């Protein structure tokens, strides 16, 4: 790779990203079921062609590839456990 590839990928990633949390995943599922209620009711996300939802995700497409970032992806990349308590500073 020649040139400033990384900054270009980052600039390409963020404008196209969407955050999918539990509420958005349920909405996505409900819309898919509503397309054909008789045939789709009671099916799983995977049976409807949707990705499995386990945690909040940041989804985007970069250079023709689908990219998904999650808390567990980042923890694994950094070699950290995916557990813990977040504390904010309070004076």
Q: In this predicted model, what pLDDT tens digit does every residue of 18-30 receive, in sequence order? A: 999 999 999 999 9
Show the tokens assigned to 87.
């504390």
47 and 61 in a common domain: no
Q: Is residue 6 part of a domain?
A: yes
Q: pTM of the full predicted structure?
A: 0.69
- Which structural domain range is residue 45 located in? 22-54
Confidence at 84, pLDDT banded by 50, 70, 90: confident
Q: Is residue 44 part of a domain?
A: yes
The overall average pLDDT reported for the chain is 86
User: How many structural domains does the chain have?
Assistant: 2
Q: Is the pLDDT of residue 5 over 70?
A: no
61 and 50 in a common domain: no
Q: Is residue 88 part of a domain?
A: no
Q: Is residue 74 part of a domain?
A: yes
Burial 37-73 (b: 16+ CB within 10 A, else e): eeeeeeeeeeeeeeeebeeebbebebeeeebebbeee
Q: Is residue 85 part of a domain?
A: no
Which of 2-11, 22-31, 77-86 bottoms out in mean pLDDT, i.e. has the lowest? Answer: 2-11
Sheet strands (E) in 1-91: 18-20, 57-62, 65-70
């Amino acid at each position: 790779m020649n040139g400033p590839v990384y900054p270009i990928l980052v600039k390409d990633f963020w404008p196209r990203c969407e955050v999918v949390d539990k509420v958005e995943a349920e909405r996505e599922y409900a819309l898919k079921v509503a397309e054909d209620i008789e045939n789709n009711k009671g099916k799983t996300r995977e049976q409807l062609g949707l990705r499995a939802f386990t945690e909040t995700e940041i989804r985007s497409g970069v250079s023709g590839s689908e990219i998904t970032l999650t808390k567990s992806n980042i923890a694994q990349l950094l070699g950290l456990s995916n557990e813990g308590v977040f504390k904010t500073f309070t004076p």
